[in-house]
Structure 1
Amino acid sequence: MVSRRLEIRNSPPPGHLPERRETHPFRLAPSELQIPMPPEEDYNSQSALRCTGRSGAKMAAGEEEGLAAEPEQEPAAEEPRSFKDLGVTDVLCEACDQLGWKVPTKIQIEAIPVALQGRDIIGLAETGSGKTGAFALPILQALLEVPQRLFALVLTPTRELAFQISEQFEALGSSIGVQSTVIVGGIDTMSQSLALAKKPHVIIATPGRLVDHLENTKGFNLRALKFLVMDEADRILNMDFETEVDKILKVIPRDRKTFLFSATMTKKVQKLQRAALKNPVKCAVSSKYQTVEKLQQYYIFIPSKFKDSYLVYILNELAGNSFMIFCSTCNNTQRTALLLRNLGFTAIPLHGQMSQNKRLGSLNKFKAKARSILLATDVASRGLDIPHVDVVINFDIPTHSKDYIHRVGRTARAGRSGKSITFVTQYDVELFQRIEHLIGKKLPAFPMQEEEVMMLAERVAEAQRFARMELREQGEKKRSRNDDDDTEEAIGVRNKVAGGKKKKRKAF
């Protein structure tokens, strides 16, 4: 394994450097290039009305898509200042205080009173707005009133989000003895079967692994389920879990309460809403495809071959902050992490080709501030609650414009400020224009000193060579041992191979 590490020192030349446009390799900004843009799909739903009522508001039956109509508003009432004002019981209010939740967020103000009335909910809110508390508190309050095992099911698109939601449930319900279990891929099914046999109050699961247990785990069923939550519903459907969701809906009671939370109201989400919810109330606190107000968004227009040098320059210029850097592929995520480590940065990767334990380890190190730079694929772009991210860098521009919203939403959360910087190469101009069109604003260029960037090129090139060598060594080890692939398909293949070998030895 290559162990050499390089050091980067800031040594700006004295005197005033030329203006950016005189030294930049690209003379035109992306917004100045004329590229025809086909119309984006209109995901705006006219079938749901915004819920702005309080707990005592009277809801009339809606005419469109089975949604509740918006009640006529009385003169503006005083804004709720505490969870007790929303109708949350004292024991749960104390739990909120212990977690530092002093004042409810906008989505919690909108959703909790409606949920406590026993209504189905469609929740649309910007990232980092406290959606987990918006559905966890009503579920726990209902559980206090009617204690029951296998009381609630929460479906999530990713494993990391599932573990995070489980932590929130157990923290909020610690004083009342709430038990939850996480059912996701990459973990031994036998241990999960034993956990399900104990009948926890809340199950947090990814759809694929839950269906596996519903079909194959003896004695496990959800016939008594009272609450179903689909968090990040648009992403669940975009990951082609529609078949699994349909199977789950067929085996759970129809008289349940259903909460559907999504960042966007896509056509797939509308279809799911019609199939799974009964006369729901829409609780929305943000407009379509909106970024956070306190987020400062920038772009850098550069040749693709200099991306690594510009990345190192930015990390030096903004030293002392915590960074999330998004890459498009697992391989590029790993390569860039190795590159930055060779340059002395405390960088760790997070991507789908890592084992579950390594992924959780990387996430926990970053959350604990033991590492200041997290490089990730879009597996970390949504749902994860990491409050101290200062800067998001789109090292590879997202292919889908909506993913930009979710990526930059990792910073400037819960009222904090933050920065996002998007790298735009000669191949990314149309994608960048789509992003600007989606968010409805032209982004400013990030101020750069190109001469300083070019001074780093030689050191960065040497670090690139070391990173490629290390990546090659890791690939050879993985091919020889192949124990790092935690996908359900790979685990199944390995188990079949191991089982076949055992049978052959026994027969011989």
Structure 2
Amino acid sequence: MSEETPSVTFKSLGLADVLCETCEKLNFKAPTRIQQEAIPWALQNRDIIGLSATGSGKTASFALPILHSLLENPQPFFACIMAPTRELAVQISEQFSALGSDMAVRSVVLVGGIDMVDQQRMLAKNPHIIVATPGRLLDHLENTKGFSMKKLKYLVLDEADRLLSMDFGEEIDKILKCIPKERRTFLFSATMTKKVEKLQRASLTNPVKVEINTKYSTVDTLLQYYMFIPAKRKDCNLVYLLNEMAGNSVIVFTATCVNAQKVALLLRNLGFEAIPLHGKLSQAKRLGSLTKFKSGNRNILIATDVASRGLDIPQVDVVINYDIPQHSKDYIHRVGRTARAGRAGKSINLVTQYDVELYQRIEVLLGKKLDEFPHDKEAVLILQERVAEAQRMAILQLRDQEDNKGPRRKRSRTISTYEEQEAEKELGLDVLKRK
């Protein structure tokens, strides 16, 4: 964890002994700033608006007070946490399970891409904690017989700015009508947009505002660079960088799902063990990619912004922005995947002639000029022929994948079944099926 203040302890914040002991087991040495500010107010039963940068320990700042309250008043469907992405929902559930490991806490993850019937079976077991994406949660509220959140005590809107930028506003409005007005609500966001302010007025009662790191900034241990390159040489420069970074754990961010898939195929054709992570993959494949990268089985992840928010992926050495983000604030979230918890890291931006304005906005936001990454242009040109052939193969493979989206061949059906089983293991659904 980051931003430790040794004089403050979890015990001094007022948390139950069992939770303090669990934090010690998990090697949470001291509360981060957001936890120090938010937890005491939460224990006083206040609604909270938490504004804090990525990687600041936000999840524990709402999970710990919820678990503390659950100890005093155990009941099913005690708290609901809404997250913008499936991966973040799974991660939040894992953190609740870890922090509540000595309390026999039951949680369920409700996200798309997993069979509704399996999720209904898990809801029938009356879990204490629901972690969900808004769309799938609304599906269950409207279609799952006997499921109700009318006795809900806590609602958490995590990454609220992202929830609303992904157009979940309508679903959230409908969900708010299905839960009691007498509840505690925590809203956590990296930015306070107009949409978030409107949601705050609609869902929180006399909230306390906890704001950490108000200025957009990156950590001092992050080394940030740019490479100004012609657009037609972008792939060659990416391959050059990955050769230079051999042995490091790297996330390459792209703007679109198609680019992520294409770059992953290109790199595989050149012998790199790259895996894609984007919104058009099945849930099983998304979880599979994330698990392989987290475990170190693959060291290059090609991702869209689905991986830029909230995900705690340890030991990311380098972030490469293959596509410069359209919104400069997204840059902060992307590079926040590396140089976490005091470790060092690098970020490198591939800036083409079409990206100059977007890149300049990032420098304005950071309040500084970045250094140019030193690279051997001759070595880049030497790669041109091999990369061009790999590009041709990647385009053919993409077309083949599109063609196979109709009737599936036997082999792809077998792979899909295996991947679905792996995803079910991740979410604990395989245990239910065996029972």
1:254 matched to 2:181: yes
Asked whether the equivalents of residues 6 and 30 of structure 2 are also in contact (C-alpha less than 8 Å), the reply is no
Question: 1:134, 1:467 → 2: CA distance?
Answer: 44
Which residue does the alignment assign to 1:418?
A: 345
Question: 2:43, 2:167 → 1: CA distance?
Answer: 32
Question: 2:312, 2:248 → 1: CA distance?
Answer: 17
1:321 matched to 2:248: yes
Question: 1:287, 1:425 → 2: CA distance?
Answer: 31
Which residue does the alignment assign to 1:473?
A: 400
Question: 1:100, 1:474 → 2: CA distance?
Answer: 44
For 1:440-477, what per-residue CA distance to the aligned partner results, in whole angstroms no more than 9, with x for missing partners?
Answer: 22222111111111121122122222222222222221
1:58-77, aligned counterparts within 5 Å?
none
Which residue does the alignment assign to 1:74?
A: none
Question: 1:194, 1:454 → 2: CA distance?
Answer: 57
1:90 matched to 2:24: no
Asked whether the equivalents of residues 224 and 347 of structure 2 are also in contact (C-alpha less than 8 Å), the reply is yes
Asked whether the equivalents of residues 80 and 86 of structure 1 are also in contact (C-alpha less than 8 Å), the reply is no
1:436 matched to 2:367: no
Question: 1:271, 1:290 → 2: CA distance?
Answer: 26
Among 207, 223, 228, the residue aligned to 1:296: 223
Which residue does the alignment assign to 1:264?
A: 191
1:139 matched to 2:66: yes
1:459-470, aligned counterparts within 5 Å?
459-470=386-397
CA radius of gyration, larger in: 1
Among 143, 150, 153, the residue aligned to 1:216: 143
1:115 matched to 2:47: no
Question: 1:411, 1:277 → 2: CA distance?
Answer: 33
Which amino acid is the alignment partner of residue 461 of structure 1?
Answer: A
> Offset at 1:292?
2.3
Which residue does the alignment assign to 1:227?
A: 154
Asked whether the equivalents of residues 150 and 202 of structure 1 are also in contact (C-alpha less than 8 Å), the reply is yes
Which residue does the alignment assign to 1:45?
A: none
Which residue does the alignment assign to 1:374?
A: 301
Q: Which runs of 5+ in 1 are unaligned?
A: 1-77, 485-508
Which residue does the alignment assign to 1:284?
A: 211
Among 124, 132, 140, the residue aligned to 1:197: 124
Which residue does the alignment assign to 1:350?
A: 277
- Aligned pairs, how many? 407
Asked whether the equivalents of residues 317 and 339 of structure 2 are also in contact (C-alpha less than 8 Å), the reply is yes
Q: Quick one: percent identity of the two aligned structures?
A: 67
SS of equivalent residue, structure 1 residue 282: strand
> Offset at 1:290?
2.2
Question: 1:97, 1:268 → 2: CA distance?
Answer: 38
1:105 matched to 2:18: no
SS of equivalent residue, structure 1 residue 154: strand
Which residue does the alignment assign to 2:429?
A: none
> Offset at 1:247?
0.9
Among 108, 112, 126, the residue aligned to 1:181: 108
Which amino acid is the alignment partner of residue 14 of structure 2?
Answer: G
Which residue does the alignment assign to 1:161?
A: 88
Question: 2:203, 2:341 → 1: CA distance?
Answer: 30
Q: Calculate the TM-score normalised by the size of structure 1.
A: 0.78
For 1:14-51, what per-residue CA distance to the aligned partner results, in whole angstroms no more than 9, with x for missing partners?
Answer: xxxxxxxxxxxxxxxxxxxxxxxxxxxxxxxxxxxxxx
Asked whether the equivalents of residues 86 and 112 of structure 1 are also in contact (C-alpha less than 8 Å), the reply is yes
SS of equivalent residue, structure 2 residue 247: coil
> Offset at 1:79?
6.0
SS of equivalent residue, structure 1 residue 312: helix
RMSD: 1.5
> Offset at 1:95?
1.2
Question: 1:429, 1:309 → 2: CA distance?
Answer: 19
Question: 1:205, 1:260 → 2: CA distance?
Answer: 15
Asked whether the equivalents of residues 260 and 304 of structure 2 are also in contact (C-alpha less than 8 Å), the reply is yes
Question: 1:349, 1:335 → 2: CA distance?
Answer: 9
- Check 1:416–1:426 CA distance in 2 against 1; reply closer, same or farther (3 A cut): same
Asked whether the equivalents of residues 53 and 212 of structure 2 are also in contact (C-alpha less than 8 Å), the reply is yes
Which amino acid is the alignment partner of residue 293 of structure 2?
Answer: F
Structure 1 stretch displaced more, 400-409 or 359-368: 400-409
Asked whether the equivalents of residues 404 and 435 of structure 1 are also in contact (C-alpha less than 8 Å), the reply is yes
1:395 matched to 2:290: no
Which residue does the alignment assign to 1:32?
A: none
Asked whether the equivalents of residues 389 and 410 of structure 1 are also in contact (C-alpha less than 8 Å), the reply is yes
